[in-house]
Amino acid sequence: TSNWIDVAVQEDVPQDDVIGLAVAGRDIALYGVEGEVFATDNICTHGHAQLCDGFLEGHEIECPLHQGRFDVRSGQPTHAPATEALRSYPVKIEGGRVWLALD
Ligand code: FES
């Protein structure tokens, strides 16, 4: 059973952009892409950079530090030097709010 947590108002997630927020002691990145919302850990798996300071293009987030990239839908790395997947989280939109399942 998933533990859904209400983390944001859907309208507060910008389209074609990324925001960072603290949820239950974790640093989470929320991405708005084509009307959908995706969530991953906000800390890059390559170094200690926050992806919310990076650049989102389509479904790809580019890390601000060494320009590694990840697919925000799966967390999978898509461009060097990123090689390790980001943790990604299930998202649902309900009642105009964004819910994450953290475990
Ligand atoms: Fe993100 Fe190096 S810290 S690519």
pLDDT of amino acid 1: 63
Q: Is the ipTM reported for this complex over the cut 0.85?
A: yes
- Rounded to whole angstroms, how far apart are CA atoms 24 and 71? 24
Residue whose CA lies nearest to ligand 1 atom number 3 = 47
Per-domain boundaries in the chain: 4-101
DSSP three-state, residue 10 = helix
- Rounded to whole angstroms, how far apart are CA atoms 62 and 79? 9
- Rounded to whole angstroms, how far apart are CA atoms 71 and 74? 6
The pLDDT tens digits of the residues spanning 44-69 come to: 999 999 999 999 999 999 999 999 99
Q: What CATH number was assigned to the domain covering residues 4-101?
A: 2.102.10.10
Cα 61 to averaged position of ligand 1 atoms, centre (Å): 11
Using the atom order of ligand 1, give the atom closest to the CA of residue 64: 1
Q: What is the band of 91 on the pLDDT scale with cuts at 50, 70, 90?
A: very high
Of 1-10, 62-71, 72-81, minimum mean pLDDT range: 1-10
pTM: 0.95
